[in-house]
Each structure stands twice: as C-alpha cells, then as structure tokens.
Structure 1
Amino acid sequence: MVFCCGQTTVMLKVAALVMFMTFVLHLIGFASPFWSRRTNSNEGMWEVCQNGLCVSSLASPALIGQVWFQAVQIVETMAVLTASTAIILVLVVLFSSKLARSKSTLVAATVLSFLTVVFILMGIVIYATKGSVFFEAVFATDFAVGFAYILITVAMVGWLLAAVLLAVDLDQKLETRRKTLQRADDTAGPVTSTSEP
C-alpha cells in the first residue's frame, strides 16, 4: 500500500497545499477572458469578448501585432509551465519515500516556484502599464482590471508563499544535516596516528 507524505515535513505538506490551491487560482486566471473589462467588453490572454461574442485574441484586429500583449502571453505561459513542473516535483517528493529527503528536488521546486512569481509579476506589470494605455486609446473608456487579473495577482502571492515555505523547509533540512555531521565528528574524537616515527 502506498502512503503519501509519511516521511515529509509539515512545512513541505503546507507548501504543497498552498501550491495546489494557488495553481487552481492561477489556471482560472490564466484561462479566463476577464483580465480587463469595460461596459460591454472584456479581454483575457486568449479571448476578446464584446457584447457577449468572444473571439480568439489572435484573431482580434485590435490585438494583432501588439508586441506587449504577446509578451504577456509568453511570460504567463512560462509561469504556468514552471508552476506545473514545481508541482510535479513536490508530488514526487511527497509520494516517494526515497526522495522525501531529496535536497536537489526541493531546490528545483523552490527555484521553479520563485521563477513562477517572476513570470507572473512581469506579465501583470506589462499588462497593467501597456494595457491601460492601449485599451483606453482603442475603446475610449477607462481601463479596469477584471477578476482574472486579480486571481493571477493573488496566485503570484500564493506562489511566493509556497516558494518561501519550500525554502524554509530546505534550510531546516540542511541545518539538520549539518548538525548530524557535526555530532558525528564530535563523537569520533580526534584522530591519532598509530604509525611510529
């Protein structure tokens, strides 16, 4: 019978829980066409909707050739990829008794979680700065962020929390390892030479 999480720390379990909840919010925000909104229209990474009719953002005449929008799509896609990989690594650690103490896997998951934060931050900053100017000019109305943009921002905070929890867990494991090695050295005592001069 396979048991989950038996040899992992509480900190890692909490980090994994935060990661899973954050990933759900992240995916909803990533896929929803509500990054920005106005009275009769809204946009997301992949769809633009006006008066209830939605088309692909790739087919939207207003967004074709907008490099800033393509940059947001790229960095947000990178965020989903790094987040997915981090979750897979944490699942491997949680379900594998051999890897429960693996430092390299935890380092990789921590780095990927921090990278997810960086990619999300880049995307929301570009969208807020360039999108506000662009959409106000195109639609001649005030720019307002939608719920998907807010979900992505909350997901960024969640990923940061998960990354910090993973880093603290890793630090605790390294400190425990260092103390164990130091105790082993202390109990071994000084090494004396048995050879005669």
Structure 2
Amino acid sequence: MTTQPPQQPGYAQQPGYPQPPVPPKKRSKAKLGCLGVLAVIVIGGIASAVGSGSDDSSAGAASSAASTGSSKGTSSSKSRGSSKGTGSAKTAAPQQSTVDAFKAYVKEHESAKTREAAAHVTKVQGADKNNDIMDTADIYTDYTGDLASADTGNAKLLASAFADFQAGRGQASKNGLVTVYNADGDILSNGKY
C-alpha cells in the first residue's frame, strides 16, 4: 500500500511526515478599504481644520462683531418688557486684536529698542491657542533681512517680549515656541514662551 504525502487534501497526518505549514489567512479587501477611507477622512479633517484657521487679527474682529450682535439681541428683548433678563445689559467693548495687544504691551513694559522692533510687527498668529503639548505662535514682520542680518537681533527681542507678553496675560506655555518671520516668510528667530 502506498501512502500519499500529507499535503494532499483528504488524507490524514501519517507518522514520519512533518506537519504541513498552515497557509496565512487572507485579509479581507473590504476591511482594508474601510481603513483607507477612514484614514482619508481623518487626514482631510485635520487639513481642513488647519486650512480654515484664521489669523488672530481677523478673529478678533469677527468675535467683536458676534459679541456686538449678541448684545443687540439682549437689549431688544429688554425693550419688549421681557422679565427673563439677568440684570443690567452691558455694552460689549470691541475686542483688541492680538497684534494690537502685543504692541500695546511692548509699548508699556519693554525697552525703547524693543518698542522700535515692535513697530515692524504686522501680524501675530497662534497666541491664543494653548494646549501645553506643543504650542506655537508666529510673529510676522516687515523686516527684509535673513538669519545672518542685523534684523535677527531685533527678532530675538520680539521673541523675548512675546514670552513676557504671554506670561503677563497668564497664557505662558510649558512647551511654547514663538517664531519670528521676515516679510518674505523666512525665519529670523525663534524662542520659548
């Protein structure tokens, strides 16, 4: 009687023959397709969140417009005689943009050389969003120099003043990084805040 090798289907394991290897399980293409779609959705959501972010100066204007609209709503409900108020209606002052608040802080608390450097600041971004994991803020200037220019010293002053500004507002970060850019968007300096 001849015995067949065990790799043929329908035959049991014979003594003396090694156990045939178990072929790997095939992955379902549907499962991999779902994971791919999920990855695209997550990446798209992150990209849209980053892309839809606005600079702090326009965000301040938008929030002041929203607060003005909400204060108008409370005053009109009071004029109709509604008794659901919480007291006297306060008039909301327009919120100061981050760049204006930074320049005002520098004007009041920093040296003359730093005040002169702050006059070159055109935009400040990311100063109001801290999570203490990796906080970043950007200061844009109208300087035209690069890393090896004299403007780098002024950019260092701005980075240092920004750290003081954030600490003064109670928004200092454990892991904050502020970057100062020139008019072309090139890095002049950076520092911790």
TM-score over 0.5 for the alignment? Answer: no
Per the normalisation by structure 2, the TM-score is: 0.27
Going by fraction, where is strand more abundant, 1 or 2?
A: 2
User: Which is higher, the Rg of structure 1 or of structure 2?
Assistant: 2
Higher RCO (C-alpha 8 Å, min separation 6): 1
TM-score, normalization: structure 1? 0.26
